[in-house]
Structure 1
Amino acid sequence: MPTSFVARLGSRFIESTRMWLVIATIMRQSMRSLFRFALFNHAIFRVIVRQLYFTAFQAIPIVCLAALLIGSVLVDNLLNLLTNLNAYDQIGSYLISSITHELAPLICTIILLLRSGSAVLSEMALMKINREMDTLSMLGIPIESYLYLPRILAFAIGGPCLTVIFSMVALLGGYFTLGYFHDITFDNYIKQILDAIHLANIIPLVLKPFFMGLVVVLIAIEKGITVRHAFTEVPIKLIRGMMHTAGCIIIIEIAFNLV
């Protein structure tokens, strides 16, 4: 029994180490392509634009709907609590902290994971099984520039952009749906929000979804290209990828809260 436990523990450690080594290699190769200005290649630039469209632009309606629903409930509850306590000067700081620091990056990352992360994993796995990656290599097309870099940039750019959109819709839409029932005017509400916005509030709004988006796409690519034989491996890889991504998101969340 102890031997079996140690064997399983060692196997998982080796698998985890191998996964992070592959991710580090993907990131290193992609950054090398970026610093070589590969994105200015016409074909690669078209792929980047297409990935941004699929990853970020098409996700805007879902993000706005989620922001409107969650923002309405949160703004209503916070305004109800703070106005009853006559803590008008705390409205902006509480809303900025709860929406832009916590909810917006987390929910946008979950949307990216469920919508685009799974698509990237399946796409990479299908290309690996059909030997399309081998074909690209034989044609002299660098995989890191044509496949990895556009998807990494799409998530790294799309994550912060969607988070900003979520925050704006949640703050403004939350007031117009349920917030105006409370004893606070729109001018005062906006003033409280603007007074609470500082550089220290903007940094996590950008950096947190940036790192979370990188984690999602890098794990998705790694799981996709490590599929070996059949497409039936994809559901297993998808589950493992989501578990690893969830763990990394928790670590990023804890790190930003500590900082």
Structure 2
Amino acid sequence: MTFLFSQIDSLGRFVTKNLEYTVRVLLMAYVSLRATILDRAQGFRQIVGVISAQIYFTGWQALPLVTVLSLAVGSILILQALSNLTLLGGTQMIGSFLIIMVVREAGPLLVALVVIARSGTAVASEIGNMRANREIEALESMGINPLSFIVFPRVLGGVISVLCLSFYFNFVALFGGFWVTRLIQEMPFAFYSDSLMRGFAKEDFLMFLLKNSFSGMIIFVVSCYQGLSVKKSPHEVPQVTTQAVVNSIIFVVIFNLVVTALFYLNQLRSLGVV
């Protein structure tokens, strides 16, 4: 019993700590948005410049990696769907299967992991070094709010980049993977495209926007928060960068899991199963 109570107490402390962390991160996101709207010291053009640089680094420079990953994922899923659905006589369902696996589940999660590995670490270490080198204090001395000049442009640029990368991932996985698969197994393109169109629904578009936009926001808000948590020493930068990666992965996975669970529970309830 003592062991059970200690485990329950540890779980309670873990949940409380993460709730407090979540509240602080959300509060920083709100304050950065408010500061961007109210503070005009840095100018609109400077904010657009930071957003453009973030989109170029997070989105454009990640295209080669996302291309290879999406081609591999799309080809593997199409081959698995063809081999298994053909045995069961359900080749007409290949479009629905791929939409569920690529657009709803694999795409948002894999793109988020790529962005965390590339851009989340870069943002956390960059802001951490700015904090350690007193660059943020210099901005404050010039009357520039760091939240509106550093945090908000990176969050907005990150969300736009994640949405664009996810759309690109889905397109390459579904159509690029098809042409790679045709080298191994023949399948008419008209049949494949028609199956995809019949498998796509408005709920898929809503889940695409919801998962990718919030995943992008989670990644960059957490990375900025961890970078700003550096106190004085540059030795803290690797630690906060690692923490940014860990927290981003945890929050993104939990968010995707909750959205998927709520979506399918709603479908089961509409069918009268639940």
TM-score (norm 1): 0.90
Equivalent residue runs for 1:18-97 within 5 Å: 18-36=20-38, 41-97=44-100
CA contact (8 A) 2:120 2:244 kept: no
Q: Cα deviations across residues 31-89 of structure 1 (Å, max 9, x unaligned)?
A: 21454596971111111111111111111111111101111111111112112322122
The separation in 2 between residues aligned to 1:34 and 1:228, in whole angstroms, is: 24
- 2:183 is the alignment partner of 1:177: no
3-state SS of the aligned residue for 1:231? coil
CA contact (8 A) 1:76 1:179 kept: no
In the alignment, what sits opposite 1:254?
Answer: 257
The separation in 1 between residues aligned to 2:198 and 2:184, in whole angstroms, is: 22
- 2:211 is the alignment partner of 1:223: no
Q: Which amino acid aligns with 2:143?
A: G
Deviating more after overlay: 220-229 vs 7-16: 7-16
CA contact (8 A) 1:160 1:207 kept: no
Q: Cα deviations across residues 162-196 of structure 1 (Å, max 9, x unaligned)?
A: 11100100011111112454353011101111121
The separation in 2 between residues aligned to 1:245 and 1:30, in whole angstroms, is: 19
The structure-2 alpha-carbon separation of the partners of 1:85 and 1:172, relative to structure 1 and needing over 3 Å to count, comes to same
Q: Which amino acid aligns with 1:31?
A: L
The structure-2 alpha-carbon separation of the partners of 1:85 and 1:8, relative to structure 1 and needing over 3 Å to count, comes to closer
Runs of 5+ unmatched residues, structure 1? none
Q: How many residues align?
A: 259
Q: Cα deviations across residues 83-125 of structure 1 (Å, max 9, x unaligned)?
A: 2322122011000000111111011000100000000000110
CA contact (8 A) 2:116 2:249 kept: no
- 2:123 is the alignment partner of 1:120: yes
The structure-2 alpha-carbon separation of the partners of 1:192 and 1:34, relative to structure 1 and needing over 3 Å to count, comes to farther
RMSD of aligned residue pairs (Cα, Å) = 2.6
The separation in 2 between residues aligned to 1:5 and 1:64, in whole angstroms, is: 44
Q: Which amino acid aligns with 1:29?
A: V
Offset of residue 256 of structure 1: 1.3
- 2:257 is the alignment partner of 1:237: no
In the alignment, what sits opposite 1:139?
Answer: 142
The separation in 2 between residues aligned to 1:161 and 1:105, in whole angstroms, is: 11
Offset of residue 231 of structure 1: 1.8
Q: Cα deviations across residues 227-250 of structure 1 (Å, max 9, x unaligned)?
A: 112222222222222222222122
Q: Which amino acid aligns with 1:26?
A: M
Share of identical aligned residues, percent? 28
Runs of 5+ unmatched residues, structure 2? 264-274
